[in-house]
Amino acid sequence: MSAEEFRRNAHVVVDWIADYLAHPQRFPVLSRVQPGDIKRALPSSAPELGEPFEAMLADLNDIIVPGVTHWNHPAFFGYFAISGSAPGILGEMLSAAFNVNAMLWRTSPSATELEEVTLSWLRQMIGLPSQFEGVVYDTASIATMCAVAAAREVIDGLDVRHKGLCRASEPLRFYCSEHAHSSVDKAAITLGLGLDSLRKIPCDDEFRIDSRALASAIAEDRANGWRPFCVVATVGTTSVTSVDPVPAIADICSRESLWLHVDAAYGGAAAACPEMRWVLEGCEAADSIVFNPHKWMFVPFDFSAMYCRRLEVLRRAFSLVPEYLRTADSEEVKNFMDYGPQLGRRFRALKMWFVLRYFGREGLAARIREHIRLSAELKSWIETSSDWEMMAPAPFSLVCFRARPSSADYSEEELEKLNTRLLEAVNRRGKVFLSHTKLNGRYTLRLAIGNIRTTAEHVRLAWDELSEVLSAEC
């Protein structure tokens, strides 16, 4: 593609993106295609000869867009509602253009040093002490896996790097709450620890880990020949955004010499607001902490910031430098390939840098604060309605609730059926999208506010949609 042809096509694409971002409501939030529709609409093998760009764009509109679920839609309230902001998209475009591999400092000094700078800015923004040094991963799942690998690396006398786990004299154990994200289980599987090595600790009635139960579990495991080595605490659990009591967990970890990893994938961003700093209370004593600017800081997917108090442990766990990757660069430079399992790394820092500079801390905090305000408003509607009830506290911007019409005395089973039907019906209408979870076995609707384009009008729309669908049901 010549420079001229690139310029022409790029303008078309940028116009397309600008229109898309300006009017995402043109599309149903949730894609309406059936399984296999997209594959059937596409040829079964690649074209033999190149095709004109216009043909690709036409197929993008006709085939691909109908199969897109629009996370950028302001009424996307499912899972955690992540969205890419325009400055982040521009940063992403440039990083695709550079196409550097940020594996070594010399393979692109700007990529490495901008990663260090943006991580330092972010660290300050959420109030973590300066001993914490960071590395960017694709996702929090990978960050947590690496944190557990680092925790394993510091176990005295184990030398898992050389000997593997089969020669360990005692089986290893680590801990998280029953509400921790499934990525903790996946870390147990991937690292060869096995799911039996992960003990899930019960929660209190606000879905936070019971720290006394944690301390007892550790004592019991030691007495039974296990070797405890790590605790994963969560700030903002996936189902309900509960916050584990990190200060109490940190005390236990310090007493028991266990690595403390904090999964603040969702909740960490809130600490950019001074009044929400409390969410990271106790995290200064953690060994590692992950938070995802791609979740609630408007950075296009993916960007996960992992901080370690002793980053060299991560390096010890993963660094392996074959001859062809050796350089004569000074010891002072960071080669980020040393801090995880992957060699090749994207230039993710550019989009983060654009987002931080475009909005500033104030701008990001104002948007996060507004999401929290909107969720408080929704909560007040639920609490004052006789047909709906809250299912959990809402410390951030996720509201967990369900319909419980006062007109009849519903059993738990009927409530589950009713709420399942409501969710299906609301999502089928295409104006808003919500997801669900189960809390203490009870089917619960989740409305997550986190999209940069969401306003009071969209939350009102969701409430009206829910109310309409409920009236039709009852």
Applying CB under 6 A, the residues found at the interface with ligand PLP are 80, 139-141, 181, 183, 234, 236-238, 263, 265-266, 292, 304
Q: Please state the closest distance from residue 239 (CB atom) to ligand PLP, in A.
A: 9
The contacts of residue 113 (CB under 8 Å, 6+ apart) are: 105
What is the residue whose two structure tokens read 């961003």?
Answer: 269
Q: Please state the closest distance from residue 196 (CB atom) to ligand PLP, in A.
A: 22
Closer Cβ to ligand PLP, 265 or 365, answer by number? 265
User: In what side-by-side order are the strands of the sheet with 259-263?
Assistant: 133-137, 304-308, 288-291, 259-263, 227-234, 172-177, 198-201
Closer Cβ to ligand PLP, 6 or 278, answer by number? 278
Closer Cβ to ligand PLP, 125 or 299, answer by number? 299
Closer Cβ to ligand PLP, 116 or 263, answer by number? 263
| Nearest alpha carbon to residue 216 among 198, 234, 228, 233 | 228
Strand partners, 95: none
**Beta-sheet strands, E only, within 268-344:** 288-291, 304-308
Closer Cβ to ligand PLP, 197 or 304, answer by number? 304
Other C-beta atoms closer than 10 Å to the C-beta of 10 total: 13
The DSSP H or E segment spanning 53 is helix 53-59
Closer Cβ to ligand PLP, 180 or 378, answer by number? 180
At 273, give phi and psi (nearest 5°).
Answer: -95, 120
Q: Please state the closest distance from residue 146 (CB atom) to ligand PLP, in A.
A: 12
Q: Please state the closest distance from residue 305 (CB atom) to ligand PLP, in A.
A: 11
Q: Please state the closest distance from residue 433 (CB atom) to ligand PLP, in A.
A: 16
Q: Please state the closest distance from residue 208 (CB atom) to ligand PLP, in A.
A: 13
CA 185 – CA 166 distance, rounded (Å)? 20
For residue 72, CA distances in Å to 184, 376, 454 come to 28, 22, 9
